[in-house]
Structure 1
Amino acid sequence: MRHTLPIAPQFYVTAPQPCPYLEGRTERKLFTALQGETAASLNDSLSAQGFRRSQNVLYRPSCADCSACLSARINVADFTPSKSQKRTLKKNADLTRRATSPWATEDQYDLFRRYLDSRHADGGMADMDVFEFAAMVEETPIRSRVIEYTDKTTNTLTGVCLTDVLSDGVSMVYSFYTPDQPQNSLGNYIILDHIDIARAADLPYVYLGYWVPGSPKMGYKAKFSGLEVYMGGAWHKMKDPADFNPDRHPLNTDPIAEQVANIALPDLSSKRR
């Protein structure tokens, strides 16, 4: 007998864990599997509702008394580089970009390890081995690319970004770069280059992941003009970052059943015929 997956995605909630962004808080995620021939449609739809992809899972924060994490994207049409961002582009003019299939290499992993050891030695990915790294890059059920940045002078791999191609933009799933050039602001440069990638492909948005007011780790995202954040079921233009309050409140987050009920799903039935 042939068994098929249920048409409607099933949503689950993770157990509470320490929050990696705001000290003294716990995080919880709402997630669903991303698989099969409907994966691209589901990813497009849920990404536009604040979800992010990690391998074959889509997730969104669902903390019991905190709603600080806001999905962020850049509206390419509204973006204008600042003076410092123009300097960042000039500093990295010797980098060349190459887009490849989602395939992990030893050079990528070596750079990834150097990046983690320098920037996130105590983070959740600190113990990731080469096989887990390969899974992160290669286990994707949708259209993904690895964007590599190489120094033309030394021919060395300098930066990498795992990037998903959505119907309305590009989503920066995870990026890493050499920690030896802090003066070049490579993280910001990779975002700036993805704005160019989206513009050249006539895609309106660059999805950045989550911006967390009150978290120094996330402050750089608020410096990009054209930034939008997803809150209250809609995207809003970022005005003043100080307007966003990360304080706890027991009514900040809707019950799980209400969250799931308010998720707009694509018509997946036609994809299974």
Structure 2
Amino acid sequence: MTSQPRDPPQFYLTSPTACPYLPGKEERKVFTHIVGRRGRDLNEILTQGGFRRSQTIAYRPACETCRACISVRVVVDDFEPSGNLHRVLKHNRDLIGTAIQNRPSSEQYSLFRRYLDARHKDGGMADMSVLDYAMMVEDSHVDTCIVEYRRRGIDSGITGRGEGELIAMGLTDVMSDGLSMVYSFYDPDLTDRSLGTFMILDHIRRARAMGLPYLYLGYWVDGSPKMGYKARFRPQERLMPNGWVRVD
């Protein structure tokens, strides 16, 4: 069980802004800083309480009139992919994910930029510079890694690594009870591969291999096309007012 931090964190509340998920709604967030030696323990406590990490900030929705954002985590040992998810795995069997240190590269930023321009050009991250990207990857006081996905090559059977150009990437926190997918992106020209879904499936496999019970996916927002896909990965637990509730 994660120990409580010695000094309680200070929490702050943002001003209302337009909700990016539900039209006509406003969002507010409560946030705190995750820094120093207690960063790892604090991040685990907050993640288990429904917070998400972005660099050295942990945040969660604090909207006055809406409770649509619900934290979800996949129950790794009981998860079995459906027929459609099996097809996603089969379609991407030529890809290999390699976990490396959370260090940014120009190749990563190039793919990140292409992904944003194609999929989220009007989003809050659209103007991120190469320095902003480097901070997103490196600025962490918790156990964080990168999983890079490349095609299987001639020497992959020996090295265990993919070869060639970067196809997709996930920024992932490693916790005592699971993996938490902080952010992921992929080649926007390969939409037929369902790479976002594939990365979740691969992270479920990774968590199982590491003996970790959960994969944290962030917020599921009922009624939002952007977030609806997270409901596909069951059994999962959803954080409700009375705690984590299993949904099969």
Cα deviations across residues 152-200 of structure 1 (Å, max 9, x unaligned)?
Answer: 3571100000000011000000000011111110000000000010000
The structure number with the bigger radius of gyration is 1
5+ residue gaps, structure 2, are 1-5, 154-162
Report the alpha carbon displacement of residue 63 of structure 1 after superposing the two structures with TM.
0.4
Say yes or no: does 1:79 pair with 2:75: no
Structure with larger RCO (C-alpha < 8 A, sep 6+): 1
CA distance in 2, matches of 1:233, 1:31: 21
Q: 1:104 to 1:233 in 2, by over 3 A?
A: farther
Letter in 1 for 2:144: S
CA distance in 2, matches of 1:28, 1:148: 33
Does the Cα contact within 8 Å between 1:77 and 1:226 map onto a contact in 2?
no
Residue of structure 1 equivalent to 2:57: 57
Letter in 1 for 2:14: T
Letter in 2 for 1:74: V
Cα deviations across residues 225-266 of structure 1 (Å, max 9, x unaligned)?
Answer: 112111104111225xxxxxxxxxxxxxxxxxxxxxxxxxxx
Secondary structure at 2:208's aligned position in 1?
A: helix
Q: 1:167 aligns with which of 149, 173, 176?
A: 176
Secondary structure at 1:80's aligned position in 2?
A: coil
Say yes or no: does 1:203 pair with 2:216: no
Cα deviations across residues 25-60 of structure 1 (Å, max 9, x unaligned)?
Answer: 111011111011111111111111101100001111
CA distance in 2, matches of 1:130, 1:179: 19
Report the alpha carbon displacement of residue 82 of structure 1 after superposing the two structures with TM.
0.4
Q: 1:215 aligns with which of 218, 224, 230?
A: 224
Secondary structure at 2:223's aligned position in 1?
A: coil
CA distance in 2, matches of 1:233, 1:203: 23
CA distance in 2, matches of 1:102, 1:197: 17
Secondary structure at 2:226's aligned position in 1?
A: helix
Residue of structure 1 equivalent to 2:158: none
Does the Cα contact within 8 Å between 1:228 and 1:237 map onto a contact in 2?
yes
Say yes or no: does 1:236 pair with 2:245: yes
After TM superposition, the structure 1 = structure 2 runs for residues 1-273 of structure 1, keeping only pairs within 5 Å, are 7-152=7-152, 155-238=164-247
5+ residue gaps, structure 1, are 1-5, 240-273
Residue of structure 2 equivalent to 1:259: none
Secondary structure at 2:183's aligned position in 1?
A: strand
| TM-score, structure 2 as length reference | 0.92
Letter in 2 for 1:100: I
CA distance in 1, matches of 2:142, 2:44: 10
CA distance in 1, matches of 2:146, 2:98: 8
CA distance in 1, matches of 2:138, 2:41: 19
Letter in 1 for 2:217: L
CA distance in 1, matches of 2:30, 2:247: 25
Does the Cα contact within 8 Å between 1:169 and 1:204 map onto a contact in 2?
yes
CA distance in 2, matches of 1:124, 1:23: 16
Q: Tell which deviates more after alignment, 142-151 or 224-233.
A: 224-233
Letter in 2 for 1:51: F
Secondary structure at 1:116's aligned position in 2?
A: helix
- Quote the sequence identity (%): 52
